[in-house]
Structure 1
Amino acid sequence: MLVRDAMSTVVLTIGPAHTLRQAARLMAARRVGAAVVLDTDTSGLGILTERDVLNSLGAGQDPDHESAAAHTTTDVVFAAPSWTLEEAADAMTHGGFRHLIVLDAEGPVGIVSVRDIIRCWAPARHRAEATTLAG
């Protein structure tokens, strides 16, 4: 199975000047765990995750004054839609993160998360177990 089959095509894009509260509200409204942070001044892409927001709150920072830019990961590993889910899982495991921005020639087309991969793999595992038991 490929990343394009598992990824969420709901891509929330925010700017680096958004506050963490604004980012959290938008993420909650769209029911996503990460936002692509697009800095139009540098043409750079980064990612802000629910964990980034949680870490800031846990550190006692004010979500109304903390900018997305201050908590964005900018050394991002990107996935291609044609990657296998194994390649995506390997990249996540190696990098210690739970989300990959999926890029094609036009830009971000999706985000794939650990949850997306598990959702795809779990039914396949159950089918394989059923086949083994039936055989």
Structure 2
Amino acid sequence: MSARTKARRRALNILFSADVRGDALPVALAAEAQRAASEPERQASWLYAREIVDGVVDHADEIDEQIAAHSRDWKLDRMPAVDRGLLRLATWEILFNDEVPTAVAIDEAVELAKELSTEDSGAFVHGVLARVARST
């Protein structure tokens, strides 16, 4: 598994846990930063995970607007928390990270959705992200 794939998974864990617990993302990120300081062997995945979460925090309104606009008949608060986190993560990569090809951002999110969420989540995440990508 590549360092970026590990970082996406780590970022998703932060996004998901903050969402489920009702914590502010900066608080969840600070807690993860403390944990990361004691795990130097995971430093490579931590740096990109932090970049993702910081990006989601910095662009939260725009990201959520894009997701809401392209998730036909699904409000953000009705989506499974895993799907919501994946959509935020991948939408940030599509819109704000020129280093990641759009297809890679979508594929990684879809694979995580298939692994970690509902039976229909892979197709749902793919559809929303494809529409976000086409709109840019």
TM-score by length of 1: 0.26
Query: As a proportion of its length, which structure holds more helix?
Result: 2
TM-score by length of 2: 0.26
Query: As a proportion of its length, which structure holds more strand?
Result: 1
Tell which structure's C-alpha radius of gyration is larger: 1
Higher RCO (CA 8 Å, separation ≥ 6 residues):
1
